[in-house]
Amino acid sequence: MNDYLDLFINYLAVEKGLSSNTQEAYSRDLSRYLDFLEKCGRTASAEITSADIASFLGHLRNGGIGPRSRARSLSAIRMFHKFLMIENYVDSNPATIIEAPRTLHKLPEFLSGSEVDALFSACAGDSAENVRDLAMLELLYATGLRVSELVSLKLREVNLVAGYLMTTGKGSKERLVPIGESACQQVAAYVEGTRFRLDPQGHNIHLFLSRLGDAMTRQAFWNIIKKRSLLAGIRKNISPHTLRHSFATHLLENGADLRSVQIMLGHADLSTTQIYTHVTRERLKKLHQQIHPRG
């Protein structure tokens, strides 16, 4: 079964074009699934039944795994068994009749306009670190990029004169995203001054670099945003994704249509973007309760 897993992960990379992070998540979920099956005496793919899969999901629930994580595991299991059918290793998919665990839709955390301003103000100063951090935060808020898309940006993919960038998102899909004037100015200040000091020979093709001149990593940027939020006095537990949520929420609050926001975020399905309409409705409801005489 582990040989099949290796083939499946290769299929995700080559045929589906999924990112390394997604591949790792599938591999982790399926390894746990196959270990469970082995302990139950299921060592051949043809032996696996729907009851086995239901037992595995029950095992996860009893182990304290939440419904969202269990649903993700079931999604991986379904795709894995579908792959086995495509490759003619089995005749049926035992996962098709298993119902996904119901998940509560948690509204995404986002920053207010004043909190965004405070976060940017926490990068005040002319040091290389301040200039770079402000450019990254401004660009993230201006475009709604995923953190992986932000750190993988290359110099040639950003056109500050025209005010747009090209990024490659999930499923290796490219999209064009506009950049606001403020973000363009901050990124230009970084590129024209700070970045040259980090990479004087011009060997690195990436836009954002570490102190050592290497490409910025997701983990390093995570630390940057945590540090800047502390300096800004923001009490919320924010992450790079919080700025992506803030980008989408603020656009919709100011009249952007859902379809345009979907395109800029790179969501394959409009239903994924629709969660932000719930955010704006919740905020309007709270405002009404606070302000209206009979709220």
What Cα–Cα distance (Å) separates residue 24 from each residue in 27, 29, 60?
A: 5, 9, 19
Is 70 considered catalytic here?
no
Task: Catalytic residue, from 42, 154, 170, 218: name it.
Answer: 170
Task: Catalytic residue, from 132, 206, 244, 245: name it.
Answer: 244
Give the rounded distance of the alpha carbon of 208 from its chain centre.
18
Is 267 considered catalytic here?
yes
Task: Catalytic residue, from 42, 68, 154, 241: name it.
Answer: 241
Is 170 considered catalytic here?
yes
CB 169 within 8 A of CB 175: yes
Task: Catalytic residue, from 132, 206, 250, 267: name it.
Answer: 267
Task: Catalytic residue, from 146, 195, 206, 228: name it.
Answer: 146
Is 211 considered catalytic here?
no
Is 241 considered catalytic here?
yes
Active site residues: 146, 170, 241, 244, 267, 276
